[in-house]
Amino acid sequence: MLGRHGWRRGALVRVRTRRDPAGVGEAPAVRFVHGVLDMAVVSFESRCEVEAPRLDKRRRRSKPATLTPGDRIGAWRVEGELGRGGMGTVYAVTHNGFGKRAALKLCHRNVLGPEFTIDTFLREARVVHLVNHPSVPDVFATGTYDGRPYLAMERLHGTTLGDYLEHHEVTKLHALDILFEICRVLAAAHGAGVVHRDLKLDNVFVLDTPAGSPPQIKLLDWGVARVVGEHDPMAGMIAGTLTYVAPEQIRADDVTPAGDIYALGVLAFQVLCGVPPFTHPNDLELIRMHIQAPPPRPSSLWAELPGGLELVMLAMLAKDPRQRPTVDDVMHGIVAARRDLVPRKPTLLSGVRAVPKAPPVDVFGRSAPIDLGAIIASLAALVG
């Protein structure tokens, strides 16, 4: 189902590929096997026979799946729910001992199994510290509650970028500033060998700041990130949201920083043009568009778009990841576009025209010829 601004809320989708012939798992959206476009739909949504890992039924579930204010998780007291996603629910909590306020992400019970373990969930804490950037929420405690892992992290004040766009008048310059801040986080991540893999509006958090100050963002949800050179627990999955996934992610090829660049290109369309480049109510058709369809020209949606930035946006959505720009290239394109859009500030001499020197005239006001010989002779007499 399409959400605000035409994006689709995410879900992990398990695929069977030549690299993962036995792949099974939770598939809230679509499940695939070999066929058209290297895959074919088996069934959709509620009709899908999900081969989800199941917990041992013999284990007694002594505690409720959803927490309420006043419940305790270790040293933390629950104040309320902040939000929930496909992997877990986030609660506002306070430390019982010294009163520190935090956000606690508690893993859903039904996602745990042989292929998604407690360690898989908790690896987000290590990924966050690998990136080590101010625009990544800090994780400072981990633990388990009734067999479910949790992360205690920095509590933020603000709203998601999707809600921010819906409730604020965002100028193009402000939108470019937000995209630039996202690029800075991705540059740090890619430099540390980390691919976020689930960049979308709902995972960009815009912090509350004083009016007129530059935007500050946090990039959320590093739980499905890929660490280059390490075993990928999400191998064989479309670990992201169908509106944003790169063609190579759909094909279950190697995940590289170019996948983040593709998702950033989709996000740039949404922020600058108001809609994503590809939308369709049918998931299979949306996937086909990512793999085969050319994106629309951004200037057809924003006529004043600087030409250089349009070229960068289209390059970000290249089907071949090798043809996409780096995050540094994108940042240079944003800076150039911002320079083109910013009105030039007037200087002290702005608007002042040089007064042309009047030609010499005689006593009657007629143009008088200049006798260079006489002038030179006069100068010579003075020197002599």
- The residues that are catalytic are 198
Three-class SS state of 384: coil
Name the CA radius of gyration of the chain, rounded: 30
Burial 204-240 (b: 16+ CB within 10 A, else e): bbbeeeeeeeebbbbbbbbbbbbeeeeebbbbbbbbb
Closest CA to 104 of 126, 130, 75: 75
Amino acid code (one letter) for 56: D
Secondary structure of residue 239 in the 3-state scheme: strand
On whether the CB atoms of residues 86 and 28 are closer than 8 A, the answer is yes
Closest CA to 335 of 313, 310, 309: 309
Tell me which residue of 122, 368, 357 sits closest to 233, measured CA to CA.
122
Write the CB contacts of 294 (distance below 8 Å, at least 6 apart in sequence). Answer: none
> Based on the number of CB atoms within 10 Å of its own CB, is 344 exposed (0-12), middle (13-18) or buried (19 or more)?
exposed
Nearest-angstrom CA–CA distance, 361 and 247: 78
Length in residues, the chain = 384
